[in-house]
Structure 1
């Protein structure tokens, strides 16, 4: 089987998570320049905005980078056309099936790597012609499934014949080793990159991540079938209260409307949505993306070299 690094022409087997409204050309180019796969999150963008971000990323790096497509978006066909026209050769996908676009992607030589939260979906994506899979456990930040990474990754690896990357729960080299021990060929990391110097979020957002501990996150939206993991705050406490009292979808949407923008653009970490994973307690400082990546794999190699199983 071709390794993910060989397939994509990257140095380190690490994808930067496609964090909505955060994963712009700034962080994507930094990750790609450091040897990983930077990813531009197109969620919420117009076709013109995505084209501008792609062109900016091209100006900042000559290395491979990807675009993430949220397939439920109404303008997804336009975004697909932009990706192909701009010559982007890798897409990751979520929130739907890439089936309608696979012929276009294949014809253009675009590698398609869906993010999935179950074995069933992984198998469906392989059958459609996906080139690799990101198996994301519920420990991750943002939109999540139900199955933990430790349970999900080995089952997906056993169920498909294409490369699998593990996501959710990687905070240091130990997490990298764990992913490889379960059969993954690499990792996708989001929360760690929130603390990257190049991550374009306000200082208050980064500080909220640095201040968070192992119990700082909560999943809301499970009752409505749209679970999201974020750092606890005043807005989420109210959201949970409404959920527990069986509030209507309209009431919940009224409270949370624009909450991601409040956190990402305004730095309001009490009334905004600070999406982050359960490894927040392992994020303790702000570093360049290159240092984050290099330390992850250096530590992983040292841990692997010293690992001994005794009975």
Structure 2
């Protein structure tokens, strides 16, 4: 079954569950435009998540999902909220959903973990998840080590469930490439940061719009928790402290509250502007609907054109 039929959506596109950002205004807009909006529940209480779900329902009657960061200690309470509010799709990260699979499946909830490796994708298929998101290191926020180009074909060859590609996708060409490598859908985060409905400070959006292909870097490798963000004064200081073998406490003190500082206060110099390497292509602010429809029209054009590509005896790609 295709990912669109499985989830009841028009376009095979997921909106990434960006912390402090993926809330009702964005999620509802994505759902109304035919994609899968995903509420980011990281750091939320059960009551706060319930509030966000209900706000989203006021905006859309289409399917949407909630992302569970499984490292949080209130996951059972959050799952109870999902059941009570009738949410039928869950994506997961930062942990193994196996302990929660029985209750999720008993309540008809589809489970889609985000995975950074073939090994984890196969493990997730074995415990009965419905699909996986294969996320490459190009992504913004918390990242793995393998690029999308290398990870995606290996995952799609290793599992029989639908695979959604994430990392380094911002236009129709990226969508077409993901499908060429075996994906049934795509997940985008960074491109959604530059949409009208994204509930971030305008400074945050403009930091992404003004970024180029070399604007991001990864911090936190020394602590085993790599995060990709746009370079600024805080990031430079963090990298310096890492080189000087600073303690984890020193690093955490520097970054404490930095995401909220960027997202809500618009401090893009001392705040954490998490974004992916594809930020250099996210150079205009559009509505969610315009972004999605344009992207998939372009993807279809690319796929149609590639349908006329043949490999000659001289092993050269040419248009027939």
Question: TM-score w.r.t. structure 2 length?
Answer: 0.96
1:161-200 alignment, distance < 5 Å: 161-200=160-199
SS of the residue 1:274 aligns to: coil
Tell me the alpha carbon deviations over residues 50-100 of structure 1, each in whole angstroms, 9 at most, x when there is no partner: 000001111110000000000000111111111111100000000001111
Distance (whole Å) between structure 2 residues aligned to residue 60 and residue 229 of structure 1:
31
Residue 65 of structure 2: aligned partner = 66
Question: Aligned-pair RMSD on alpha carbons?
Answer: 0.7
Distance (whole Å) between structure 1 residues aligned to residue 242 and residue 44 of structure 2:
29
Tell me the alpha carbon deviations over residues 218-262 of structure 1, each in whole angstroms, 9 at most, x when there is no partner: 000011110000000000000000001111101100101111110
- The CA deviation at 1:309 is 4.2
1:284-295 alignment, distance < 5 Å: 284-295=283-294
1:107 is the counterpart of 2:106: yes
Question: TM-score w.r.t. structure 1 length?
Answer: 0.99
SS of the residue 2:44 aligns to: coil
Residue 219 of structure 1: aligned partner = 218
Distance (whole Å) between structure 1 residues aligned to residue 6 and residue 62 of structure 2:
13
Distance (whole Å) between structure 2 residues aligned to residue 292 and residue 210 of structure 1:
14
Tell me the alpha carbon deviations over residues 250-296 of structure 1, each in whole angstroms, 9 at most, x when there is no partner: 11001011111101111110111000000111011110001111111
Give unpaired runs (5+ residues) of structure 2. none
- The CA deviation at 1:127 is 0.9
Distance (whole Å) between structure 1 residues aligned to residue 119 and residue 302 of structure 2:
33
SS of the residue 1:266 aligns to: coil
Give unpaired runs (5+ residues) of structure 1. none
Q: How many residues align?
A: 310
Runs of 4+ in 1 over 6 A off after TM superposition: none
1:47-196 alignment, distance < 5 Å: 47-196=46-195
Bigger Rg over Cα: 2
Distance (whole Å) between structure 2 residues aligned to residue 144 and residue 23 of structure 1:
18
